[in-house]
């Protein structure tokens, strides 16, 4: 029995399939812009590629977190600048009230102005950014203080939460990001009593002394307001430090992003010039193979008849 199976034809078809598959792969790389479209495209490099992608995702999240920290720190810095201005206004009003030439009625008017300043300070302690109360520490979804005229320092403390929030840079180093309203405006002594630097208490005492025409109380309160002003300035410097640290961390993250993007691109992205050359070579190889096959001798059934 004669067999008409042609081994050379089978080999030709197999080789033709290899050439077409290679050309198709190169065409996909040019179309997508990526030389890695699936794990099988670069099995030796896929592990490094995935690690680089994970690193880039982590760095992007760190950058986003740092940007939020920067916004909050800048807002806190500005808020405390405003608080300083208000406290200085209260000092000026207190100095006017301390004069022996001022009447009780005038002192009451000055006291009302100091009380208005006090209310604005409480409002500053409740500053929020994008729904987050930046002086509420770990309880940032609600304000830490509210006005309470019946309280000795004029406020009701709604939360005693501290601030354990830390920011992380791309090297994994962490640093604190904020202070609480209590740390800034409601300083206490170890026994829980109001410190001389307590903003709420000093302004409340000044307003009360002016309203009651208490000259000795006015002088004492002015001293406390001056101390609280210095204290707020010291606390404000914390945010300057945070802003500098965030700026450095964002620069680090930006540099790392460029590095990771370059490394990912080197592995993933198509070298357009090289791929185009490969595609041209593949087309030439395919045409040459077809031309060679067309010139090959053929044998048909009629060659075996007769």
Confidence of residue 179 (pLDDT cuts 50, 70, 90): very high
Identify the residue with better confidence: 210 or 280. 210
- The answer to whether the CB of 47 falls within 8 A of the CB of 36 is no
Contact 236, 84 (CB under 8 A): yes
Q: What is the H or E stretch that residue 132 is in?
A: strand 132-133
- The CATH class for the domain spanning 50-263 reads mainly alpha
**CB-CB contact of 206 with 222 (8 Å):** yes
User: CA of 44: how far to CAs of 35, 178, 267, 270, in Å?
Assistant: 13, 46, 11, 17
* Percent over 70 (pLDDT), the chain: 73
Prediction pTM value: 0.77
- pLDDT surpasses 80 at 295: no
Strand partners for 174: 168
Look at residue 267 in the predicted model and tell me its pLDDT. Answer: 81
Question: What would the pLDDT profile of 241-256 be if each residue is shown by its tens digit?
Answer: 999 999 999 999 999 9
Cβ proximity of 197 and 227 under 8 Å:
yes
Domain boundaries, the chain: 50-263
| Closest to 122 in 3D by CA, of 153, 152, 95 | 153
- Supply the pLDDT for residue 46: 79
What is the predicted pLDDT for the residue at 281?
A: 60
DSSP 140: T
CB 76 within 8 A of CB 134: yes
Residue range 273-298: mean pLDDT, rounded: 58
pLDDT of 265 reads 82
Q: Tell me the average pLDDT across 164-171.
A: 96
Instruction: Label residue 1 by pLDDT band (50, 70, 90).
Output: very low
For residue 46, give the nearest of 55, 36, 32, 54 by alpha carbon.
36
Contact call for residues 104 and 210 (beta carbons, < 8 A): no
Q: Is 210 exposed, middle or buried (0-12, 13-18, 19+ CB in 10 A)?
A: buried
Task: Report how far apart, in Å, the C-alpha atoms of 190 and of each of 45, 74, 178 are.
Answer: 60, 31, 22
User: Is residue 167's pLDDT more than 90?
Assistant: yes
Distance CA 126, CA 230 (A): 21
- Mean pLDDT for 47-56 is 90
- Who contacts 218 (Cβ-Cβ below 8 Å, separation ≥6)? 94, 97, 98, 107, 206, 209, 210
Cα gap 133→184, rounded to integer Å:
14
Least confident among 18-27, 68-77, 135-144: 18-27
Give the pLDDT confidence score for residue 6 in this predicted structure.
Answer: 57
pLDDT of residue 266: 81
Angstrom distances, CA of residue 220 to CA of 82, 132, 141, 225? 24, 36, 37, 9
């Amino acid at each position: 029995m004669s067999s008409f199976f042609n081994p050379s034809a089978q080999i030709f078809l197999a080789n033709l399939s290899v050439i077409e598959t290679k050309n198709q792969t190169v065409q996909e790389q040019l179309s997508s812009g990526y030389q890695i479209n699936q794990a099988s495209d670069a099995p030796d490099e896929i592990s490094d590629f995935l690690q680089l992608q994970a690193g880039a995702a982590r760095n992007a999240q760190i950058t986003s977190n740092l940007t939020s920290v920067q916004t909050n720190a800048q807002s806190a810095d500005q808020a405390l600048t405003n608080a300083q201005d208000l406290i200085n206004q209260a000092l000026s009003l207190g100095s006017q009230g301390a004069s022996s030439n001022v009447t009780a009625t005038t002192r009451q008017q000055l006291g009302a102005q100091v009380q208005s300043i006090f209310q604005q300070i409480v409002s500053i302690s409740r500053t929020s950014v994008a729904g987050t109360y930046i002086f509420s520490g770990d309880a940032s979804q609600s304000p830490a203080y509210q006005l309470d005229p019946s309280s000795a320092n004029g406020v009701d403390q709604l939360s005693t939460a501290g601030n354990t929030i830390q920011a992380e840079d791309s090297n994994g180093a962490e640093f604190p990001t904020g202070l609480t309203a209590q740390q800034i405006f409601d300083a206490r002594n170890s026994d829980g009593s109001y410190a001389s630097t307590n903003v709420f208490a000093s302004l409340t005492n000044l307003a009360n002394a002016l309203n009651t025409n208490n000259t000795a109380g006015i002088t004492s309160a002015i001293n406390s307001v001056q101390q609280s002003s210095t204290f707020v300035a010291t606390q404000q410097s914390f945010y300057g430090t945070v802003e500098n640290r965030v700026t450095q961390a964002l620069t680090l993250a930006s540099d790392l992003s460029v590095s990771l993007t370059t490394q990912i691109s080197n592995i993933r992205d198509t070298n357009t010039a090289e791929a185009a050359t490969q595609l041209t070579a593949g087309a030439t190889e395919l045409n040459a193979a077809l031309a060679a096959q067309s010139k090959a001798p053929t044998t048909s059934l009629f060659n075996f008849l007769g």
